[in-house]
Amino acid sequence: MIEYIKKIYEWLETSGASFGDVSKIQMVSGLVTEEYEEFIQAHKENNDDEIVDAFVDLVWVLANNTYFRGIHLERVERMFELVMLSNFSKFAKTELEASETVLDYQAGNHFDKPGVKINTYYKKVNDHHFVIKRTEDDKVLKSKNYNTVSYLDLIM
């Protein structure tokens, strides 16, 4: 994904846009809203072609936003790494960890949602991971050993 964002930055440079030109942020924010609304409409219509088009357009205008804010690609790449590491740490590594996580959610004792009882279940997805999901909609939830990696951890 980062290679595509790099290409978007290159396209912007080629078009004569100025990196860090904050005067363009409001325009780009409007484009984000416009593309998001197109995505919602395509979703309502169950139109996969338009959903993909809206997805790509959203990536483009979001990359425009970071470009005009003066956010360097290295920072975007580090954030991608951060989110990737954090998301992969949602998975439990053992069945014991998965079952304890489910019990924590059901009792309202999970660190991420203290006091909130959530019906969950777990499923083994491969030889090394168990995924914990909310029963009502299958949303992936954090295991009890979820590890947030801070942005500062990545740059040090």
The mean per-residue pLDDT over the stretch 13-36 comes to: 96
CATH classification (class only), 2-87: mainly alpha
The answer, yes or no, to whether residue 28 has pLDDT greater than 70, is yes
- For the chain, the domains span 2-87, 90-140
Q: Name residue, tokens 């484009």.
A: 31
> Measured between alpha carbons, how far is 147 from 85 in angstroms, rounded to an integer?
8
Contact 4, 10 (CB under 8 A): no
The answer, yes or no, to whether residue 156 has pLDDT greater than 50, is no
Cα-Cα-Cα-Cα dihedral of 31, 37, 43, 44, to 10°?
-160
The mean per-residue pLDDT over the stretch 64-91 comes to: 93
The answer, yes or no, to whether residue 152 has pLDDT greater than 80, is no
The mean per-residue pLDDT over the stretch 146-154 comes to: 62
The answer, yes or no, to whether residue 105 has pLDDT greater than 50, is yes
